[in-house]
Amino acid sequence: MSDRLTALHDSVDRLSELVTGLDPDTLTAFAYPTEWSVADVLFHLGSGAVILLRRLDDGLAGVETPDDASRVVWDQWDAKSPEDQAADALVADRALLDRLEGLNDDERERFTFAMGPMTFDVDDFVGLRLNEHALHVWDVEVVLDPAAPIAPGSVAPVVDNLALFAGFTSKPTGTERVVTVVTTEPRRGFVVTLAADKVTLEPTDPSDAPDLVIPAEAFVRLVYGRLNPDHTPQVEGDDGVLDELRRAFPGG
């Protein structure tokens, strides 16, 4: 089992432990992205699991997934109550995990997944799900524990896959500069380039004199727009650097 799949397994278990038994008031409380409730987050994870499972099976069967497949699933989930969204999300989440863990060598070798101009293999496909899953598990957990970090088992594989997603989560700030970042637990180095028309993030060797030193799980949340001052651990560096990066990675 790959490191990503192991981390996804642990994240699925963590979500189940968090959600099982939640009362209706908690399900309808705001999650970290305050435009979503906890049930909305679970709607997103559960419907996403159904859609990804369909795409996985269609890809292995060599057939095209219909263009309206996602919309059909979203409409079905939109009709569910918050309690059913929560319960069904756990079932769908587990079903996708079981399918991924049950792939044989031939299926792993044959499967590819296209997203825009990019084509991913099965490990990349797992990585896509893990990045999303780990962040949304945190969106739920932080409602129950405001000091909660991203689950430790997810941090290394997610931070090592971070550059792929930075382009989707960033926007220019009007400032042009290069910011060096070193993360801890695990120790990694990144260069964030703020340009007039785009923001890029690239892994590099950790700098001896970075502009920002930050726990890796917090840097993941920063890139995904989840590092407001109330959920920021101790970091080393100028506050202006952190604020600039918050503007560069607003989430949403």
* Right CATH for 162-248 from 2.40.280.10, 3.30.1050.10, 3.40.50.300, 3.90.480.20: 3.30.1050.10
Task: List, for residues 121-175, the tens digit of each pLDDT value.
Answer: 999 999 999 999 999 999 999 999 999 999 999 999 999 999 888 878 899 999 9
Q: What is the pTM of this model?
A: 0.93
CA dihedral sign of residues 213, 216, 221, 227: negative
The percentage of residues in the chain with a pLDDT greater than 90, rounded to a whole number, is: 87
10 Å CB burial of residue 156 (0-12, 13-18, 19+) is middle
So where are the chain's domains?
Answer: 3-155, 162-248
- Class in CATH terms, 3-155: mainly alpha
- Determine how β-strand 199-204 pairs with β-strand 212-215: unpaired
pLDDT at 116 over 90: no
